[in-house]
Structure 1
Amino acid sequence: MTRPVALRAVLSAGVSLHGARIQDVDLGPYEADLLAREDLAGLVVLGGEVSDRLAHHLRLHGALVFPTDPTCPVNPYRATLYRPEELYDGMLDRGYASTPDALAYAWSREADQAHDVFVTLVRAIHDDSVSDALTEVLDGRRVVGVMGGHALLRGTPEYASAARLGHLLARAGDVVLTGGGPGAMEAANLGALAPDVPALDAALEALAAVPSFRPDVQAWAALALEVREGLLDEGPVRSVGVPTWFYGHEPPNVFGQGVAKYFSNALREDALLSRCTAGLVVLPGAAGTVQEIFQAVTPLYYAAEGVPVPPLVLVDETHWERTIPVLPALRALGAQRGLGASTHVVGTVEEAAALLAG
């Protein structure tokens, strides 16, 4: 995809635009140069700002110009991850229901659009664009996934433990990747973002004032945005969330430095789990967490002999052995495969972080 700097360089060098892709760029500053060009066959322009005059010229000379859906509350051709402030824009003035996050969920659920082929195309382009942006952010980094239940309350020892895990992983140089929602996911993203232990402790104490996103998402998110302002958000990315509008009842947490939010939960799950190349830590959870465990296990189970398998670390043996008996299945699957040697059960998040030390 062509970004503004690259586009300027291409135009200045006189390089052919045949087959080029221009994504989410305001073409106003480049209009005169593009109007002077006729080598445009195969050029694809995805969204951005394009005047009617320029769009006509591009199409006349063989380019494809993809419009957006004016009813879509978010930009389907975006070239970067979301920022938390972007998803919650306008909340303090008009309420959560008016935010891009809430409006995107409502748009995705409109019954009269369920079988609209153009809406389906727009959603698919959006999710593919988000995947590209996520790949760009994580390129060359050690990525550890942290999974866990959305119902975990702020102010509890379990929430603080998940936050410590995120902090330990990030201090070791890993990017902490979560499902981007509330509960254990929020805690791990928070811990990864916090610059030091005192800052993390202060954030945990402050957040306890609003334990859950139920019944008031606005109070939950507003407090988190306020706490986030007191945390350093500089240097390499270390905290990323990957939520989905499929679970519209779960608002995204604000402690990811980038948010890769998807319309398709299936694409979101694959985007999340396939990028946890340095390992996966699973905290206690329920159905959604169990689904993620087995989705992660499948490619590990079928990995070719001799291919390194990233560690899968489950925290709290009692939960995974008795409360939700996942461990017996994992042990059976891993008995004669590399998965078995890479599956670990630990009692504390400190043990989990130590196992994943790079």
Structure 2
Amino acid sequence: MSTPTDPALPSTTTDHEIETLAEFDRVTADGGSLTGHRVQAVDLTARTSTLLDADVQGAIFLGCPMEPEAAARVRARGALVFPPVPGLPFDPYRGHVYAPGELFAGLASEEGYEATPDARAYDWFQRTKADGDVFASMLRAVHDDSVSDALDELLTGARVVGVMGGHAMARGTEAYEGAARLGRTLARAGLTVATGGGPGAMEAANLGAYAAPFDDPMLTEALQLVAKCPSFTPSVTEWARAAFEVRDRWPDGGSSVGIPTWFYGHEPPNPFASHLAKYFANATREDGLLARSNAGVIFLPGAAGTVQEIFDNATPNYYESRGEPTPMVLVGRAHWTEELPAWPLLQALARGRSMESRIALVDTVEEAGEALKRIAGSSAGQD
């Protein structure tokens, strides 16, 4: 399933990357050369005659199905061919991030979630992550690098706000509704919402961004629909089907990004993120999510994972000496000062440094958007 065209998140490639059959045809039209090009996960089985005639010196074909005759010819003419790996539930050479319908393909079957590529990829990861097989490790690394490349292309020129929060936040709660309204507010302000791509607060923020193009009552109705299945436990199948019911009723919602991981495979990706950059390596995923949140990060109440994200984001801000540290807004005064007192430590780190004016603690999600705007406006006024 291809990634949908999204004008808010332009998908671009370099001059030497070919990621679709249409791009391949444009490059090779009228005898065009493939010299130096990287052809990534494009099915070329119907382009044998073109491959037999093309100048392919220095070209690299990554996971491109092609007829044996064509593969032999391009190798003989100086191309490097990495063939598809049979039996994998994922494509390590993929040229695009995932769409929800791709990871959840087969959800409507009798097997439900267990039949989906997402579940099968997690099963493969569980079988191979501890066996020391260098080939499996290489495939995971190649996949994650391909996803990072695709994510960078997707987010070119986007103003990205990360929304962090706990996976345990249940549908049907006031906290979930608040996170959804926050996502909608940010998206309507022209920002790209990026989350960890999982359930709970992450799903709520992605749902809010999905609801942004619709009238306000849509979100109210959508919240009621998903509330019939509050959590992904005990049934991921029913949880995901409730989300797709919303998507089917209101198609073509707003765009946002989710960056989940198979490392926490018991937490499924949420279907409201229009673009899912899913990784095997959690460290790559965590660093990438925060690094790409160039317009700031909002931290909703969460537990250990969210605390880790606060200080993962604070560290580069602490050492920032040339540019402006990214804004950080913590939501929930009691949570971050009493239950998990991350705010006093963050304040202590920020004292006397450039990040001091770039952090804020607020009580509500409504205040979070205003705080983010205020910090950005203050920075603009100083330039």
TM-score range, shorter chain: over 0.9
The structural deviation recorded for 1:111 is 4.4
- Which residue matches 2:249? 230
Q: Distance in 1 between matches of 2:128 and 2:147?
A: 24
Q: Distance in 2 between matches of 1:219 and 1:6?
A: 39
Deviation string, structure 1 residues 294-343 (Cα, Å, up to 9, x no partner): 111111111114x1122100001111111111112111111121121101
Task: Decide which moves more: 16-25 or 139-148.
Answer: 16-25
Residues 111 and 332 from structure 1, CA distance in 2 versus in 1: closer, same or farther, beyond 3 angstroms? same
The SS at the match of 2:18 is coil
Of 268, 278, 295, 2:295 maps to 278
The SS at the match of 1:356 is helix
Task: Decide which moves more: 273-282 or 13-22.
Answer: 13-22
1:301 aligned onto 2:318: yes
- Which residue matches 1:62? 78
Q: Distance in 1 between matches of 2:349 and 2:131?
A: 38
The structural deviation recorded for 1:356 is 2.5
- Which residue matches 1:319? 335
- Which residue matches 1:332? 348
Of 28, 37, 53, 1:36 maps to 53
Number of aligned residue pairs:
354
Contact 1:69 1:122 in 2 (8 A): no
Aligned pairs for 1:185-334 (under 5 A) are 185-194=202-211, 195-233=214-252, 238-305=255-322, 307-334=323-350
Contact 1:91 1:98 in 2 (8 A): yes
1:74 aligned onto 2:90: yes
- Read off the aligned partner of 1:118 and give its amino acid letter: F
- Read off the aligned partner of 1:5 and give its amino acid letter: A
- Which residue matches 2:193? 176
The SS at the match of 1:91 is coil
Contact 1:143 1:275 in 2 (8 A): yes
Task: Decide which moves more: 254-263 or 82-91.
Answer: 82-91
- Read off the aligned partner of 1:277 and give its amino acid letter: N
Deviation string, structure 1 residues 118-149 (Cα, Å, up to 9, x no partner): 22121111111111221222111111000000
Q: Distance in 2 between matches of 1:12 and 1:96?
A: 42
Deviation string, structure 1 residues 58-104 (Cα, Å, up to 9, x no partner): 11122111123323201112112211121111122122122111110
Task: Decide which moves more: 330-339 or 243-252.
Answer: 330-339
- Which residue matches 1:12? 29
Deviation string, structure 1 residues 276-307 (Cα, Å, up to 9, x no partner): 000100000001111111111111111114x1
Q: Distance in 1 between matches of 2:270 and 2:129?
A: 30
Q: Distance in 1 between matches of 2:224 and 2:126?
A: 36
- Read off the aligned partner of 1:319 and give its amino acid letter: H
1:24 aligned onto 2:41: yes
Deviation string, structure 1 residues 17-55 (Cα, Å, up to 9, x no partner): 332100011213432122013x42321101132111111
Instruction: Extract structure 1 runs of 4+ deviating beyond 6 A.
Output: none
Question: How large is the Cα RMSD of the aligned pairs?
Answer: 1.6
Q: Distance in 1 between matches of 2:95 and 2:215?
A: 31
Of 143, 159, 163, 2:160 maps to 143
Q: Distance in 1 between matches of 2:85 and 2:126?
A: 15
Q: Distance in 2 between matches of 1:36 and 1:332?
A: 66
The SS at the match of 1:72 is coil
Task: Decide which moves more: 334-343 or 275-284.
Answer: 334-343
Contact 2:98 2:277 in 1 (8 A): yes
- Read off the aligned partner of 1:231 and give its amino acid letter: W
The SS at the match of 1:314 is strand
Q: Distance in 2 between matches of 1:126 and 1:68?
A: 12
Contact 1:167 1:193 in 2 (8 A): yes
Give the TM-score, by structure 1 length. 0.95
The SS at the match of 1:256 is coil
Contact 1:193 1:232 in 2 (8 A): no
The structural deviation recorded for 1:232 is 4.0
Contact 2:199 2:267 in 1 (8 A): yes
Task: Decide which moves more: 7-16 or 239-248.
Answer: 7-16
Contact 1:244 1:265 in 2 (8 A): yes
The SS at the match of 1:76 is coil
Q: Distance in 2 between matches of 1:196 and 1:246?
A: 37
1:356 aligned onto 2:375: no
Q: Unmatched 5+ residue regions in structure 1?
A: none
- Which residue matches 2:12? none
Q: Unmatched 5+ residue regions in structure 2?
A: 1-16, 377-383
The SS at the match of 2:193 is strand
Residues 112 and 131 from structure 1, CA distance in 2 versus in 1: closer, same or farther, beyond 3 angstroms? closer
Contact 1:233 1:257 in 2 (8 A): no
- Which residue matches 1:124? 141
Deviation string, structure 1 residues 198-240 (Cα, Å, up to 9, x no partner): 1100000111111111111111111111112123425xx6311
